[in-house]
Structure 1
């Protein structure tokens, strides 16, 4: 069983992942604003199923890699650190697009298409795969039991965190978009705060050691 303090830190990392702008968030916000909350929730169901796909694939993969490849932990830790720093840069880089500025002239999609596109958007999102491959090894230790079971445990925490935040985003997308459109200062504050937290997590990860 993974210690509770490690699970809480992982949950924080998962929270940072879900609130950092990416394909999933952009898709859910765009569908919610242009087609309504029902369309956003159907799209979210597809996204969540995409997470379950990643969880199973990565759990089997990590079980094999961590036992078979020497220094896999160091390689994946380095990958995770670089990835966090990349996300921090993406958050504050000049001329980055405001995700709340949506094209209102979008076509209306059927529920089946909404679900399918949500699923594929997540499955084909390298951000999710890299997060799993680089973060899971920081918290998975042989002394805690089955590596596969630990991977599933972390994956479910990440999926639940993502579902909760994205559910709120779907229900409030129009209001949030309107607020940020009228208060651009908050967008800049949000970006720099997110970048600061990402850098902190990157440094903590870089200094962590295998147990």
Structure 2
């Protein structure tokens, strides 16, 4: 597959709504722009892990080992459901006024949430496995191409989800969203629960 085609595929994967998008949106609405940006950083860091084990061939071994793959799948499903339920039941408490401000020292919590949300998603693992199976070959130059593509995906995730955090906390849109904050929190929480349930139930 040509690099341009892979770049386009990566862009489509990143911008398509999924659990990462819902998490960044929820954290941005509830705790402000900085929380969303930290979540985006965590997602980008998780991408580096996916790239590392894809290039080493470990993801292939995991995908061929049913019990290990299921362990990762169920762990990811449970984590998404946990985040979703937390958002649903915390919606009423967080429904009023401006979002709580996020101090610099609090950023690690949202970074960890973003990191685990992406890292524990086996769909992301299989995506990188399939992509790198196209990029990697015995030739040495393919290693450089794979590394370049990996850096591209890390940067792309960071930029896109940071843009989501900035956009949904922009003054004009923010005022409208704050009026619907309770419903949005419930919708985001329900979305995470649905993603988690689909992931856990999928055979």
TM range (shorter): 0.5 to 0.7
Q: TM-score, normalised by structure 2?
A: 0.61
Conservation of the 8 A alpha-carbon contact between 1:18 and 1:165: yes
Per the TM alignment, residue 154 of structure 1 is displaced from its structure 2 partner at its CA by: 5.1
- Whole-angstrom CA distance in 1 between matches of 2:176 and 2:200: 38
> What corresponds to 2:127 in structure 1?
139
- Whole-angstrom CA distance in 2 between matches of 1:153 and 1:200: 29
- Whole-angstrom CA distance in 1 between matches of 2:128 and 2:160: 19
Per the TM alignment, residue 127 of structure 1 is displaced from its structure 2 partner at its CA by: 0.8
**What CA deviation, in whole Å up to 9, does each residue of 1:106-125 have, x standing for no partner?**
9xxxxxxx9xx48x825872
1:167 matched to 2:166: yes
1:55 matched to 2:47: yes
Which consecutive unaligned segments of at least 5 residues does structure 1 have? 31-42, 107-113
> What corresponds to 2:59 in structure 1?
66
Per the TM alignment, residue 157 of structure 1 is displaced from its structure 2 partner at its CA by: 4.3
Conservation of the 8 A alpha-carbon contact between 1:73 and 1:138: no
- Whole-angstrom CA distance in 1 between matches of 2:184 and 2:110: 27
Per the TM alignment, residue 190 of structure 1 is displaced from its structure 2 partner at its CA by: 0.9
Rate the CA distance shift 1:16–1:192 in 2: closer, same or farther, 3 A.
same
> What corresponds to 2:27 in structure 1?
21
Per the TM alignment, residue 166 of structure 1 is displaced from its structure 2 partner at its CA by: 1.6
RMSD: 4.4
Q: TM-score, normalised by structure 1?
A: 0.59
- Whole-angstrom CA distance in 1 between matches of 2:127 and 2:153: 8
Question: How many residues are paired up?
Answer: 178
